[in-house]
Amino acid sequence: MTPLPEYNANPSLIYQMVNGRVQSRILLTAIELNLFDGLSAPVSAGLVSRDLGTHPGNTGLLLDGLAAAGLVQKENGQYQNTPDTQARLTRKSPAYVGEMLLIQDRVTTPALADMGQWVRTGPPETEPEMGAQELWTRYARSMANYQMGGCVQKMTRVLSARSEFAGMEKMLDLGGGHGLFCIAMVKAHPSMTGVVFDQPSVVEVAQELICEYGLEDRITTIGGDYTQDDPGRGYDLVWASSTLNFVRPDLGPLFETVYKALNPGGLFISLAEGVTHERTRPAGFVMENLAYALLGHDRMFDRGEIPGAMNAAGFSRVQSIALDTPMTPMELDIGKKSCSAKG
């Protein structure tokens, strides 16, 4: 008689991954419906349905799914946002990230839907366009909200605590997008000026925020391609946040340009993900990058890759700091141009 098999391993991870697709769809559907805007105070499913013009029964099911996922609280038949949901998923919040999540879903869905094809055949012969300029302009605006949710403030505190900060006169936000890092760092300094350098359509977003914070007299913008166009000279700080991935195959020429752009004693600081464990950690970032990598856009840095390129470009005293951010752990790599360096 054949004995029944015994299994001691816990299979819960497998089922959690399958259920994960339902959870992400619940979240994205609620964002599309602007559902969280109506949950700032306890409210019944019937009233939510009435305000949204949706099916009462299925609205209740969606709300129960959100409660099961921990995104809303349910008590005595009333639903309300959790504090984190209220801060990040209601449209009036400065830290609203709903638009960012919808754009990420729009860009990655084609690759994920055809994952089997790309695994069988490899990426397309020519790298596909990852989105129109209008889309990336919208994404820059939505990323500003994400960064405002704590990352900008944290990085500004790290920079302002350095001994070099007080003596800085001019900074460059390379590939700066929304420009909030430059805005926050300039605001934290009594006299430093700044330049935000990115694509012409994207720096329009930065210009709007510069005006909003009243820094038109201290921050300017450059619209162009930082891999080809001259960023200028005379900077005491070049800041690059989550932008070097686009030039990962050929960091050398860009780092040489940055080196020349800095004054002697100036700092080049990069904030980027650094993968470890044979490119399988941090898990969240590896998963996020997968859709892009399948189409030939694998831009993940190995931990230590950026400091190595800084050293090769002539930077000395390169320092790396591991930092937690709301989305994933990241590496802050700091290279210093020698005080006696020329050019």
The string of pLDDT tens digits covering residues 99-136 is: 999 999 988 898 899 999 999 999 988 655 555 567 77
Q: Above pLDDT 70, what percent of the chain?
A: 96
**pLDDT at position 16:** 85
Query: Any bridge partners for residue 321, and if so which?
Result: 332
Give the Cα separation of 215 and 132 in Å (integer): 29
Least confident of 12-16, 29-33, 88-92, 202-206: 12-16
**pLDDT at position 194:** 98
Task: For residue 107, give every residue at least 6 positions away whose Cβ sits within 8 Å of its Cβ, in sequence order, or none.
Answer: 130, 131, 135, 291
Q: What is the average per-residue pLDDT within 45-54?
A: 98
* Total number of residues shown for the chain: 343
**pLDDT at position 266:** 97
pLDDT in tens, 235-249: 999 999 999 998 998
- With 90 as the cut, is the pLDDT of residue 151 above it? yes
Give the Cα separation of 233 and 227 in Å (integer): 15
**Mean pLDDT for the chain overall:** 93
b/e burial code for range 193-213 (CB count within 10 A of at least 16 → b): bbbbbbbeebbebbbebbeee
**pLDDT at position 56:** 97
Least Cα distance to 52 among 67, 34, 39 occurs for: 34
Q: Which domains does the chain have, with CATH numbers?
A: 12-89 (1.10.10.10), 151-277+297-336 (3.40.50.150)
Q: What is the average per-residue pLDDT within 164-171?
A: 98
- With 80 as the cut, is the pLDDT of residue 256 above it? yes
**pLDDT at position 131:** 52
- With 60 as the cut, is the pLDDT of residue 162 above it? yes
Most confident of 9-18, 36-45, 147-156, 284-293: 36-45
